[in-house]
Amino acid sequence: EAQVTQNPRYLITVTGKKLTVTCSQNMNHEYMSWYRQDPGLGLRQIYYSMNVEVTDKGDVPEGYKVSRKEKRNFPLILESPSPNQTSLYFCASSPRGHYNTEAFFGQGTRLTVV
Amino acid sequence: DAKTTQPPSMDCAEGRAANLPCNHSTISGNEYVYWYRQIHSQGPQYIIHGLKNNETNEMASLIITEDRKSSTLILPHATLRDTAVYYCIVRGRPYGSSNTGKLIFGQGTTLQVKP
């Protein structure tokens, strides 16, 4: 089954404790990205990757890092989480940059930073 | 990418057709209209997309006006499981190296399907 898998689904952590949210897709897609969703602000892109070893900032990259060492994986790293990073996070993938293609989203990771 | 305007909420009776409108008056010739939905904080789910012609798949139909300034997503027989936020997104082919690939989600339309 074609899918994007995020882990964990739920996470409560403390300020400053490094964490990683994993994202994996099984569709051999070149393009992957991370979004965060906050009430009243909708979904905003954090980082994206066009292919292996190619990543770039989206609209709200501050406080986040990503890596793309393999095509299937695109982890989101919070080196020093802060309460303003409490949010619902989604990973997405597609064959190309979403143009004339369907984007597949993971089920989300609800992160709370206290 | 063109901006879209959708009503914030709509109701639909179960079993009836749900018609969700979207205005995109500034759409340009190479921009596609996409529809996604999000059920209760789950990951957004692709529904359908089109450029000029009407499109139909197993989930829905997309009707695009001749001037392409608006479109309507039709769920032919809405069920309770179709209760969700529906997003209309306009996305064009990027030129040069300025492709972030992002989908711009507005506030969407909250569709409530009632028994």
pLDDT at B53: 87
Q: What is the structure's pLDDT at B97?
A: 43
Model pLDDT, residue B12: 96
Closest partner residue to A48 (CB to CB) among B93, B94, B100 is B100
Per-residue pLDDT reduced to its tens digit, A87-103: 999 999 988 755 667 88
Cβ pairs bridging A and B (under 8 Å) = 67
Partners of residue B21 on adjacent β-strands: B72
Q: How far is the C-alpha of A79 from the C-alpha of A20, rounded, in Å?
A: 8
- CA distances for B109 relative to A42, A51, A88, angstroms: 12, 33, 19
DSSP A50-68: EETTEEEE-S--TT-EE--
Interchain CB contact of B110 with A (< 8 Å): no
- Selected residue with higher pLDDT from A103 and A19: A19
SS3 state at A85: helix
Q: Please enumerate residues of A whose Cβ is less than 8 A from a Cβ of B.
A: 4, 31, 33, 37, 42-43, 45, 48, 50, 56, 58-59, 88, 90, 92, 94, 96-100, 102-108, 110
Q: For residue range A66-81, what is the model confidence (pLDDT) as tens digits?
A: 999 999 999 999 999 9
Model pLDDT, residue B104: 84
Say if B49 is an interface residue toward chain A (CB within 8 Å).
yes
Summarised one tens digit per residue, pLDDT across range B85-102 is 999 998 876 544 455 677
Amino acid B95: pLDDT: 42
Average pLDDT score over chain A:
94
Tens of pLDDT along B13-65? 999 999 999 999 999 888 889 999 999 989 999 999 999 989 999 999 999 99
CA distance A97 to A50: 7
Minimum Cα–Cα distance from A88: chain B residue? B41
Band of pLDDT at residue A64, cut at 50, 70 and 90: very high
